[in-house]
Amino acid sequence: MAKVKRNKPRNPVANAPIMRKGGVHQKSRSGERQQEKQQLKQLVSRVEAGSSGLDFKQSIAA
């Protein structure tokens, strides 16, 4: 029979610090700013092209 190597049980109290920062994934503030900037540029280009710009709320929701 082959020997079975048994691992020592882990301490449930001492978790790795890197694992504590998990949680809800969110965009960074810079990512949010960049997205807002892109949306503003799109709105300005649509208004310059002759669109009324009133469909802005619909494009944000999409």
For the segment 12-30, the average pLDDT, to the nearest whole number, is 76
pLDDT at 51: 65
* Rounded distance between C-alpha atoms, residue 29 and residue 27, angstroms: 6
pLDDT tops 90 at residue 60? no
State if pTM tops 0.75: no
pLDDT tops 60 at residue 3? yes
* Rounded distance between C-alpha atoms, residue 11 and residue 15, angstroms: 8
* Rounded distance between C-alpha atoms, residue 62 and residue 39, angstroms: 12
